[in-house]
Amino acid sequence: MSLRVAILISGSGSNMVALARSMQGDHPARPCLVLSNRPDAGGLARASEMGIPTAVVDHRPFGANRAAFEGALQEALAAARPDLIALAGFMRILGPDFVGAHAGRMLNIHPSLLPKYRGLDTHARAIAAGDSEAGCTVHEVTPALDDGPILGQARVPVLPEDTPETLAARVLPMEHRLYPLVLRRVAMGDKTPITLP
Ligand code: GRF
């Protein structure tokens, strides 16, 4: 019986596509839902084209009522019965009650070499700091932002002429390699961290 993986997105869903494509053949997991907080997320159409059920819980009607929004997220997720949850370009901060309900079963990919550069604008911050390398991290989601146990990291060089855009373009393909590798390993019950290259 395959593990059921729900993938949460807010945008283009390129990481979602990489994860979904990896869950085939002898892979122990299969995607069971792609859920977005944005009705216009491009990843929803990509998921549908791949035959993956989709759902939308638009955060905007809930305003500042995070608890109500997360309650609606929980309902949408419960219907899909996920064993694992993968945040993939999901741009809402999730509160401790939501995170606690999925402790140890929720992953996120963040575009920096954590613990450096939690939060936003990671590539601009790495360039401004004069870092020689940057990258991405897959970690378990805990109540603290971008702070859970690291499950994998991928490193890329920062080049002198890099802009945040050129650096992001170098990191993103590594995200698409790293996240599926980590998900497969976690689905097999192994949380030993992976390092690329
Ligand atoms: C990626 O850089 C990811 O690290 C960040 O959101 C960006 C877009 O991801 N969390 P995707 O193309 O929507 O998967």
CATH number for the domain that contains residue 11:
3.40.50.170
Torsion, CA 47, CA 8, CA 111, CA 193, rounded to 10: -100
Query: Per the domain annotation, does 63 fall within a domain?
Result: yes
Ligand 1 atom nearest residue 88's Cα: 14
Please give the Cα distance from 26 to 28 (Å, whole number).
6
Q: pLDDT, tens digit, for every residue of 136-188?
A: 999 999 998 899 999 999 999 999 999 999 999 999 999 999 999 999 999 99
Atom of ligand 1 nearest to the CA of 171: 2
Could you tell me whether strands 106-110 and 150-157 are parallel, antiparallel, or unpaired per DSSP bridges? unpaired
Q: Is 135 in the pocket of ligand 1 (CB under 6 A)?
A: no
**155 belongs to a structural domain:** no
Q: Are strands 106-110 and 84-87 parallel, antiparallel or unpaired?
A: parallel
The rounded distance, in Å, linking the Cα atoms of 165 and 143 is: 29
Domain count, the chain: 1
Q: What per-residue confidence (pLDDT) applies to 38?
A: 98
Q: How far apart are CA 158 and CA 126, in angstroms?
A: 8
- What share of the chain has pLDDT > 90, as a percent? 98
- Catalytic site includes residue 110: yes
156, part of any domain: no
CA dihedral 32, 76, 50, 43 (to 10 degrees): -130
- pLDDT of 1 over the 90 cut: no
Ligand 1 probe mutation, 15, 16, 87, most atoms within 8 A of CB? 15
pLDDT tens-digit readout, 90-105: 999 999 999 999 999 9
Residue 114 lies in a domain: no
At 139, is the secondary structure helix, strand, or coil?
strand
Residue 34 structural domain: 3-109+140-150+176-190
Residue 163 lies in a domain: no
Q: CA torsion sign, 69 to 141 to 49 to 14?
A: positive
Residue 35 lies inside a defined structural domain of this protein: yes
Letter for the amino acid at 82? P
User: Is 42 domain-assigned?
Assistant: yes
Instruction: Say if 167 falls within a structural domain.
Output: no
